[in-house]
Structure 1
Amino acid sequence: MSNINIHNRITNKRGFYEGGKVTKVNQDFWNAMSGFEETAKPDRKTMTARARWLAANNAIMFNIDGAILDNVIGTGILLQARTPNEKLNVVIERRFKDWATNPNKCDSTARANYYDMQRTIQSVKMVDGEIFIYKRITKEGLKLQLIEMDALDDSGSDDGIEKSRDGTVTGYRFKVMDDDGYYTSKTYTVKAK
């Protein structure tokens, strides 16, 4: 007699919860009493790759994602200054628009303007589940750098997320990309703030 049959006989006689019974329908249902990270880590890259493939190759998902982007982000989130000083409001909004529309001013890689970055962030969040935004204060002012989750150094047990003894995130360790676009074994750490 198999272990499943023995379990079923005992369960049926003892009257445990329906959800706890093992049947032919749910016998392949794998469950664990492990922490989320321990359960999710082995399949994370596979799930991300599948989600990316679907986003690129499935017309239904493409259209749903596009509709969400259009409804959530649209042409971009605009700044509306609301100080009591109307002249100051105009100056703030003009300077923000100048920063937001110029990739050389807002993007540390000088590839996208702020509004394109908003769409990229939302799109990547829907497919990959996360994206990192590194806020850099430079001589020219604030610049944003988008870092995809693949850059996180997952070679160690901490998956690139450095924590204090009490579990507070203190930094993120990212892999360095070479000139050809491949990640190297070198890393750099960005402090969490």
Structure 2
Amino acid sequence: MLNIVLFGPPGSGKGTQSKLIQEKFDLIHLSTGDVCREEIKQATPEGLEAKRLIDGGNFFPDKLAYRIVEKFLDSNSQARGFVYDGMPRHEGQIPVFSDMLAKRNGIVDIVVELKVEEEELIQRLLKRGETSGRPDDSGREVIEKRLRIYDDVTAPIAVEYKKMGVYHSVDAMGTTEEVLERISILVESQLSVKSAYAEIQ
């Protein structure tokens, strides 16, 4: 099983690229937000707990998010692999995430950070806000605050994954197809390594 962590700042295209990688390599795109929203929609015990917390204006706890993700992984145990979008979200989640994979005989195989110049990110999000109606894309000040939060909370996970030797930085400037090709080269290389390893076992 191939486990890819894809992360990047708002506007970097990680949602789009995650879905394209899923299609190209026959993987499952695991968006933490999407999985949690589906649990709420289906009114599962976890979904009801999540809805109660959200409706009460409470912070969505890591422990509940991981319970929901583990449930999703177990229901897709025959998958060729996953593209994780939104997990881990900060350094403190890395050990829990690694343990979750280890329980299922998996590891983080490759971590890809999408890099985009800040002004380009701002322009992309402003443009998206013209049609999306999303309040977090509504103005430059709001967007800049989101980018600072990313820099402070999520970007530091790169340090730990560099130590593990699985981190890769990808230039996400250019067309969607160009960025996909850059990521695909890394994924194909990792698939070759896993295939070679499997042959000698």
- Shorter chain as denominator, the TM-score bin is under 0.3
The structure whose RCO (Cα within 8 Å, separation 6+) is larger is: 2
- Whose Rg is larger? 1
Structure-1-length-normalised TM-score: 0.21
Structure-2-length-normalised TM-score: 0.20
